[in-house]
Amino acid sequence: MTTLAMDYQMGFMGLDSVFTPSAYVRTWNRSLGVPLSPSSASISASIDRVLTFVVSQNAVIEDQLAVEDFLANKSGVVAHLYSVPEKIAYYIGKSKMKLGVFSEPDGYEAPELYLEVETSLSPEEANQRLSTLNREWILTSNDEDLIALNVTLKFA
């Protein structure tokens, strides 16, 4: 990991010619004072608010920096995360949830956002309800951002 330290660099607005994951750029931007903070602060605030909301709805965030980075690059998913707890409760029942990012260590595919839903339903019933959730909400939305959310089941 590389640390960028700058003393008294007023007006410095970006990391030019440096490849930096957006989660770290956003963390760095938060440390700037309001007059220097770039407009991406609104994206950071939206991501922070939705993650706080999801946690308040009985969810755990696994590797928060990875989730923040994913959401910064696919910001359309942020709005959908507000309705996820309600949809899960409706289709599967009130459940513990875990939000995280999965990436294949040896693969070249883009990371995927997943929501793991813990359930005590039988596997047949839970899979049927998950299929209904997919058919009636995720797939019918025709929204690429919502389709980026993978809902998985964990049987308790």
Give residue-wise pLDDT tens across range 51-66: 999 999 999 999 999 9
* pLDDT value for 8: 45
Structure tokens at 76: 């359309």
Q: For residue 142, name the pLDDT band (cuts at 50, 70, 90).
A: confident
pLDDT, greater one: 32 or 92: 92
pLDDT score of 20 more than 80: no
Average pLDDT of the chain, as a whole number: 80
Contact of 151 with 112, CB cutoff 8 Å: no
pLDDT score of 25 more than 70: no
**What pTM value is reported for the model?**
0.72
pLDDT score of 4 more than 80: no
* pLDDT value for 59: 96
* pLDDT value for 62: 96
* pLDDT value for 24: 53
d(CA 113, CA 44): 17
